Amino acid sequence: MSQPKVLIIVGDATETVDTLYPYYRLIEGGYQPVVAAPEKRLYQMVLHEVKPGWTITKEWEGYTIQADIAFKDIKPEEYAGIFFSGGRAPEYIREDEDLLRITRWFWENKKPCASVCHGVEIPARAGIVKGLRMATVAKCKFDLESCGGIYVNEPCVIDRHMFSGRTYHDHGQYIGPWIKALDAQRGQLS
């Protein structure tokens, strides 16, 4: 039996830990993570951290990651869930019409969705956050609230089928419940 596929949304300057932690947790859980981006090519990830004494985020180059599929080629019905990674990438890819179409499909079809940090900018731009409680990094509170979402400063926020955390420091809080939602869905489809 084939493993259910789950999308991980990235672009250049996707945060490394935001991306790799859920990637490997999905494999561990019996899923096939599929890295999706504007084009099928190699992407540069980054490390983000607010250094002591700094008031803004410092950025270093992280690992690279190969996109398995371009947004335009995704047939969302072939996937069990979607993860919106953080970093600076969401700011640049959130206008991609195919990504917005895919995002809306997952939400409307009640598939498990997860978001961390700047990842919130994609569901916000897709228009699916109105009245939705979500965690995100504090500097994206404005993006969420401007689109009708409700900012919650907690490590794990679950509202309907959206699972969110503020930064990669919260992965241990919200990724497990998201994977359990994927498991529950898999059990319903068996």
- Per the prediction, the chain carries an average pLDDT of 95
pLDDT band with cut points at 50, 70 and 90 for residue 64 = very high
Q: What is the pLDDT of residue 189?
A: 62
Mean pLDDT of 89-108: 98
Give residue 163's pLDDT.
Answer: 98
The confidence score (pLDDT) of residue 38 equals: 98
Q: Treating both helix axes as pointing N-terminal to C-terminal, what angle do 16-28 and 171-189 enclose, rounded to 10 degrees? A: 40
The two three-digit tokens of residue 62, written as one number: 């992280």
Average pLDDT over residues 169-174: 97
Place of tokens 């959130």: 94
Give the pLDDT confidence score for residue 52 in this predicted structure: 82
pLDDT above 90: residue 59: no
pLDDT at 57: 76
The percentage of residues in the chain with a pLDDT greater than 90, rounded to a whole number, is 88
- pLDDT given at position 37: 98
Predicted pLDDT at 190: 53
CATH number, span 5-189: 3.40.50.880
Mean pLDDT in residue range 112-141: 97
How confident is the model at residue 1, as a pLDDT?
56
- Is the model's pLDDT at 152 over the cut of 70? yes
Residue extents of the structural domains in the chain: 5-189
Q: What is the pTM of this model?
A: 0.95
Residue 50 has pLDDT above 80, yes or no: no
Distance CA 63, CA 47 (A): 9
Check: CB of residue 13 under 8 Å from CB of residue 88.
yes
* Two structure tokens written together for 63: 């690992």
- Quick one: pLDDT band at residue 55, thresholds 50, 70, 90? confident
Give residue for tokens 């919650």: 152
Whether pLDDT at 187 is above 90 = no
Torsion sign over Cα 155, 157, 158, 164: negative
Residue 58 pLDDT: 77
